[in-house]
Amino acid sequence: MTLLHNVPSHVLVSAVRYALGRRTYIVSDTVQAVSGQWSKLNRADKTVIVTDVVRAFKGGSTGMPQDAEQWARLLRIALDDPHLGLATREAQTINRILEGDIYS
């Protein structure tokens, strides 16, 4: 997959929203694209993405198990991002997802 540079962040947010719950290759492509641009996204867009992915896990709508693994990969990136400034409760929720306590 060719990653394009200077993609507006709202396009990546839209791609995440489109891919959530899909059961196709688009999930891994979307996670790869967003991961590759994560450091360039602003905090607000990162927060929207994390909120949407966490909501999908809580609702059991992340797609197939391999899709959930991809979304979990993105949550790990968010959890490790010191600039995101996750609240303690948000970080705990993400950790519960990654430990399998909340899983689609």
Per-residue model confidence as pLDDT tens digits over 80-97: 999 999 999 999 999 999
Can you give the pTM of this predicted structure?
Answer: 0.91
- State residue 103's pLDDT score: 60
Q: CB-based contacts of 72: which residues, under 8 Å, 6+ apart? A: 97, 98
Using the predicted structure, report yes or no on whether residue 2 has a pLDDT greater than 60.
no
Instruction: Give the mean model confidence (pLDDT) for residues 58-73.
Output: 95
Distance from C-alpha of 61 to C-alpha of 67, rounded to nearest angstrom:
10
Residue whose C-alpha is closest to residue 72's, from 37, 33, 27, 42: 27
Using the predicted structure, report yes or no on whether residue 49 has a pLDDT greater than 90.
yes
